[in-house]
Amino acid sequence: MNYFEALEATVSIDEAKAELKRHQVAFTIDASNAIIDVETGSTIAAPDHYGEYAGSDIVEWLGY
């Protein structure tokens, strides 16, 4: 997937976790399934009402 496709994509929790691990981001999943950065405590991404995550949230957190 290219950059623009990633910005428009919705991803599963497994896909989001895999991408963050690939970039060596330490994270945890809270009770509401939000993905939280361990170092800062900031929310990387929160699931939508379908339980999926905005690709743009992940891409932006990675600094792209």
Q: What is the pTM of this model?
A: 0.91
Closest residue by Cα to residue 37 from 64, 14, 12, 62: 62
Provide the domain count of the chain.
Answer: 1
- Rounded CA-CA distance 64/50 in Å is 25
The DSSP string of 15-60 is: HHHHHHHHTT--EEE-TT--EEETTT--EEE---TTS-EEHHHHHH
Helix (H) or strand (E) holding 11: strand 10-11
Range of the domain at 39: 3-61
Residue 1 is predicted with a pLDDT of: 80
5-64 per-position pLDDT tens digit: 989 999 999 999 999 999 999 999 999 999 999 999 999 999 999 999 999 999 999 998
